[in-house]
Amino acid sequence: MEARIKQNNTDASDTDELTIEESFERLDAILEKMEDEETGLEESFRLYEEGLKLIRRAEAGIDRVEKKIRILNEEEA
């Protein structure tokens, strides 16, 4: 899997437009980059912050999907 890593700060709107799947793919890419010995401390911290935002975004998306499923299941019952 080839993932693109941005070298500059990520705009908040970049993560807002990602799907849940894309968020997880980006998280995988962030982990790979953070594990790279060539990644400096400042870059690692920036990636860590981006990862936290992505996790929160993915959790919110999963919560929305779970609520929709519950509603659909209640309507069918």
Top-confidence residue, 11 or 66: 66
Burial of 33 (0-12, 13-18, 19+ CB in 10 A): middle
What's the pTM value of the predicted model, to 2 decimals? 0.72
pLDDT tens digits for range 11-62: 445 666 889 999 999 999 999 999 999 999 999 999 999 999 999 999 999 9
CA-only gyration radius of the chain, Å: 16
Q: Please report the pLDDT score of residue 17 as a whole number.
A: 83
What pLDDT was estimated at residue 77? 76
| pLDDT value, residue 1 | 35
